[in-house]
């Protein structure tokens, strides 16, 4: 039995479905060390199954494909083997890659997937002839319908991996030192990847293809018979879905449905999670002894956990719906339709999903940028997607807009508050696009400028794969970001709960300041309060006082914390009959005698929250996805500077 | 029904380049005959068909590549 089996194949050949069928839920998702390329592993009995990133050619230049090639080159042929997955409908393309992997001389089992589609389209594949000519075992399966999976498992367990016939490997080994190849096939691949763009190695690649392609064409001629009528069903659907008008209309309707679903379907489970953690916090505060432990569990750990777990429904729904789009083949059509608009900002159609996902939450948005092959564009999408107006900004916007516009303000038939909210969404989108434009102008790219896109054929969604995909992605979010936000929550709790003063000092202050609540006084003299006062000189030009400063600091963990903190700071608890907005509207600036939350301050705060990186989870996920602290620091600094400057200008102009 | 799909032959002009390599990884070689499935003038994109594969290219990025109609 083999120790490790590596799944190799082109993108969209159903490799992940085969992986899921072989390993079930026994999967682990992580990243390759040093890079952000995802590595999925699982077990079939005692054999480790590794799903390598999709590979178009051993001569590909993207990071994930280079990793696949390196992994294959480093296999131990005594213990490891390759399960090569090909798409029966596009066998000619896949056999070209197969010939390259075969020339690396590793034990292989050739699996032809989509047997159901092959039969439906009356494609004839002579499996015996293919096996004879390649010298490897060939199996026809359909991972989607579970056909042939048991035979595949048996083949893996009974070690039916064989060394394939070489295609042009001999041409490399028999060359004189003056000829093009010079080195072995494997050495040339390594040299090529180390010298990307070098003319000598580009010539080697061309010669490799020149020699290889006729051999593969011949193999296909001898083993595959395509039906005469190649009229593709997919083209008929694409005539509508890629139509400049109808295609765009369908796309917009689908996006509307997705974002409506995220908000509509997540409301109830989010309330449950919120309620559960609220009750758990109360329970902890009332029952745990000693008091300091109750405080840290009930007021730091549980709210911190709740703060991250509350996003699970939105993230799971988003990944589930994106999984459907991916599984059906529609995702590539979205890239097609949006490319025209996004290329003006240095992006491509590949960036549309991270940007749209950012409207729900920046975390899945950042994660979904993995599908972008151009490293510069992927980085741009990661860095700018937090500008998109996420759901956490909504409560902040709702309070601030409510402070400056009355409930019944209308412009013609439109509610003014709704128009301002729409304007803030547009502001986020335009800023993200402009930031992407600036970033891609500034950062050079090693990738070729040629943007190419595969349009896979349409398929029925594979529900099992979609559920697993949503589960694994959500789990990765909770575990990855959860650890960091929990740690920050404890730190924030500490500085808000502890003070350099004694209890007798507080008793005196509470007795003196009868107009303020105890919570407000304790906060003012806590370390967080002093921190607010320390930063007051910096935020004063924006129209903020130390109390708003505390809200800014505490909402660094998550934007929505702003509302809760500002409620506490301004003693909302003592005025039960007043809403947050009503209470804040009565707050007076003691220096000017005018309203604290006037037009200028509120616009300044709106702009600050539109641009500032007030989300620890996003910082954590950007760190995870970019493999270090460099980009999250640059991103956070850039966003904070933009937030500060725009808030400053707004306040100074309007006040 | 009965509509002829245009075919184009790929010509890679000049010395091998990274762009040529990228085309080859998608299965488009010197002399490859592909179907011109769609010439999208609004989105400035081309959809080429290789068997049942559909490959999208930006028209403005086709420097160093020539597409000659074979059945025009």
According to DSSP, residue A588 is labeled B
pTM: 0.76
User: Three-class SS string for A615-654?
Assistant: EHHHHHHHHHHHCCCHHHHHHHHHHHHHHHHHHHHHHHHH
Measured between CB atoms, which of A59, A234, A336 is closest to B56?
A336
Give chain B positions within 8 Å (CB) of A455.
47, 54-56
Band of residue A575 on the pLDDT scale cut at 50, 70, 90: very low
Give the model's confidence band at B29: pLDDT under 50 very low, under 70 low, under 90 confident, else very high: confident
- Residue-level pLDDT at A162: 95
Lowest mean pLDDT among A143-157, A556-570, B7-21: A556-570
Q: What is the DSSP string of A92-133?
A: HHHHHHHHHHHTT---EEEEEE-HHHHHHTT-EE-HHHHHHH
Which of the 8 DSSP states describes residue A178?
A: T
| Residue B29: closest CA among A26, A213, A254 | A213
The answer to whether residue A579 scores a pLDDT higher than 80 is no
Q: What does the alpha-carbon distance between residue A539 and residue A652 come to, in Å, rounded to a whole number? A: 12
**Nearest-CA distance B18 → chain A (Å):** 6
Which of A57, A209, A451 is nearest residue B58 as measured by Cβ atoms? A451
β-pairing, A4-8 vs A80-87, is parallel
Cβ–Cβ below 8 Å for B43 and A235: no
Residue bearing the bigger pLDDT, A253 or A564: A253
Report d(CA A611, CA B53) in Å as an integer: 42
ipTM of the complex: 0.91
Which contiguous run of DSSP H or E holds residue B37? Answer: strand B33-40
pLDDT in tens, A246-285: 999 998 888 778 767 766 787 788 889 888 988 998 899 8
Token pair of A654, please?
């309007």
CATH for the B6-69 domain, from 3.30.450.40, 2.30.30.90, 2.40.50.180, 3.30.360.10: 2.30.30.90
Residue A40 phi, psi (nearest 5): -110, 130
| pLDDT at residue number A578 | 61
Are residues A130 and A157 in contact, defined by beta-carbon separation less than 8 angstroms? Answer: no
- By CB atoms closer than 10 A (0-12, 13-18, 19+), residue A632 is buried
**Which of A251-265, A552-566, B37-51 is modeled with the greatest confidence?**
B37-51
CB burial class (10 A; 0-12, 13-18, 19+) of residue A377? buried
In percent, the amount of chain A with pLDDT more than 70 equals: 91
Please give the domain boundaries of chain A with CATH numbers for all domains.
1-228 (3.40.50.300), 482-654 (no CATH)
pLDDT for the residue A636: 96
* Helix pair A463-497, A546-554: axis angle to 10 deg: 140
pLDDT class for A488, splitting at 50, 70, 90? Answer: low
Distance (Å) from the alpha carbon of B4 to chain A's nearest alpha carbon: 11
Residues linked to residue A48 through DSSP beta bridges, in sequence order: A4, A43
Which residue among B22, B40, B45 sits closest to A450, beta carbon to beta carbon? B22
Which of A193, A450, A456 is the best mutation test for B, with the most CBs of B within 10 A? Answer: A450
A509: contact with B, CB 8 A cutoff: no
A70-84, A142-156, A477-491, A492-506: the lowest-pLDDT one = A477-491
**What does the domain layout of chain B look like in residue ranges?**
6-69
So what's the pLDDT on residue A646? 97
CA distance A563 to A394: 11
pLDDT digits (tens, 9 = 90+) for A392-451: 787 788 889 989 887 777 777 778 888 888 889 899 999 999 999 999 999 876 655 578
Tell me the C-alpha distance between B66 and B72, whole Å: 15
Q: Residue A22: which pLDDT band, with cuts at 50, 70 and 90?
A: very high
For residue A573, pLDDT beyond 70: no
At B1 the pLDDT is 43
Residues 203..222 of A with a Cβ closer than 8 Å to B: which? 203, 205-206, 209-210, 213
Write out residues 231-260 of A within 8 Å (CB-CB) of B: 232, 234-235, 238, 242, 244
B23 touches chain A (CB under 8 A): yes
DSSP type of residue A577: T
CA-to-CA distance for A595 and A655, rounded, in angstroms?
12
Taking residue A52's Cβ as centre, other Cβ atoms within 10 Å add up to 23
Residue with more model confidence, A430 or A315: A430
Give the residue-averaged pLDDT of B16-45. Answer: 87
């Amino acid at each position: 039995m083999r120790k490790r089996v590596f799944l190799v194949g082109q993108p969209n050949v159903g490799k992940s479905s085969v992986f899921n069928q072989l390993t079930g839920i026994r999967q682990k998702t992580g990243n390759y060390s040093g890079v952000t390329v995802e590595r999925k592993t699982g077990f079939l009995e005692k054999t480790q199954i590794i799903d390598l990133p999709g590979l178009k050619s051993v001569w590909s230049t993207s990071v994930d494909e280079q990793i696949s090639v390196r992994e294959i080159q480093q296999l131990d042929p005594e213990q490891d083997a390759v399960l090569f997955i090909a798409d029966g409908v596009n066998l000619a393309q896949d056999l070209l890659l197969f010939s390259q992997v075969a020339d690396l001389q590793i034990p292989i089992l050739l699996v032809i997937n989509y047997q159901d589609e092959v039969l439906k389209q009356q494609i004839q594949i002579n499996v015996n002839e293919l096996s004879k000519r390649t010298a490897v075992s060939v199996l026809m399966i359909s991972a989607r319908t579970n056909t042939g999976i048991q035979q595949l498992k048996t083949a893996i367990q009974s070690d039916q991996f064989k060394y394939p016939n070489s295609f042009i490997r001999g041409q490399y080994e028999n060359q004189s030192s003056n000829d093009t190849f010079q080195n072995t096939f494997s050495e040339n691949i390594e040299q090529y990847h180390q010298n990307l763009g070098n003319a000598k190695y580009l010539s080697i690649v061309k010669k490799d293809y020149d020699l290889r392609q006729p051999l593969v064409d011949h193999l296909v001629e001898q083993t595959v018979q395509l039906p005469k009528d190649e009229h593709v069903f997919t083209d008929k659907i694409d005539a509508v879905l890629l139509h400049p008008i109808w295609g765009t209309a369908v796309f917009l309707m689908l996006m509307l449905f997705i974002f409506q679903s995220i908000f509509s379907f997540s409301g109830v489970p989010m309330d449950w999670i919120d309620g559960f953690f609220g009750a758990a916090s109360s329970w902890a505060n009332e029952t745990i002894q000693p008091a300091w432990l109750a405080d840290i569990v009930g007021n730091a750990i549980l709210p911190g956990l709740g703060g991250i777990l509350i996003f699970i429904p939105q993230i799971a729904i988003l990944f589930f719906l994106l999984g459907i789009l991916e599984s059906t083949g529609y995702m590539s059509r979205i890239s097609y339709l949006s490319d025209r608009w996004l290329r003006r900002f240095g992006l491509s159609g590949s960036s549309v999903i991270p940007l749209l996902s950012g409207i729900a939450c920046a975390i899945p948005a950042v994660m979904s940028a993995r599908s972008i092959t151009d490293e510069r564009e992927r980085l741009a999408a990661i860095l700018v997607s937090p500008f998109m107006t996420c759901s956490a900004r909504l409560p902040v916007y709702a309070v601030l807009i409510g402070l400056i516009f009355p409930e019944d303000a209308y412009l013609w038939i439109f509610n003014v508050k709704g128009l301002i909210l729409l304007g803030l969404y547009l502001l986020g989108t335009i800023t993200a696009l402009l930031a992407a434009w600036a970033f891609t102008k500034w950062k050079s790219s090693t990738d070729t400028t040629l943007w190419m896109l595969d349009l896979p054929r349409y398929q029925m969604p594979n529900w099992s794969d979609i559920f697993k995909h949503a589960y694994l992605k959500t789990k990765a979010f909770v575990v990855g970001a959860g650890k960091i936000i929990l740690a920050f929550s404890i730190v924030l709790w500490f500085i808000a709960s502890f003070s350099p003063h004694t209890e007798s000092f507080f008793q005196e202050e509470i007795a003196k300041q009868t107009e303020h609540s105890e919570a407000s006084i304790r906060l003012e003299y806590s370390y967080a309060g002093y921190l607010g006062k320390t930063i007051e000189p910096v935020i004063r030009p924006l129209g903020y006082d130390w109390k708003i400063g505390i809200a800014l600091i505490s909402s660094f963990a998550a934007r929505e914390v702003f509302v809760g903190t500002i409620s506490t700071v301004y003693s909302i608890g003592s005025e039960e009959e007043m809403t947050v907005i009503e209470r804040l509207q009565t707050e007076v600036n003691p220096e000017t005698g005018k309203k604290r939350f006037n037009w200028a301050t509120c616009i300044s705060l709106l702009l600050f929250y539109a641009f500032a990186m007030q989300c620890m989870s996003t910082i954590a996920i950007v760190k995870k996805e970019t493999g270090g602290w460099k980009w999250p620091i640059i991103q956070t600094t850039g966003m904070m500077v933009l937030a500060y400057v725009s808030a400053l200008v707004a306040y100074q102009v309007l006040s | 029904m009965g509509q002829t799909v245009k075919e184009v032959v790929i010509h890679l002009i000049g010395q091998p380049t990274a762009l040529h390599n990228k085309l080859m990884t998608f299965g488009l070689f010197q002399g490859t005959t592909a179907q011109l499935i769609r010439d999208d003038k609004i989105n400035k994109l081309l959809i080429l068909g290789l068997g049942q594969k559909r490959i999208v290219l930006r028209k403005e990025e086709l420097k160093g590549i020539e597409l000659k109609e074979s059945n025009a």
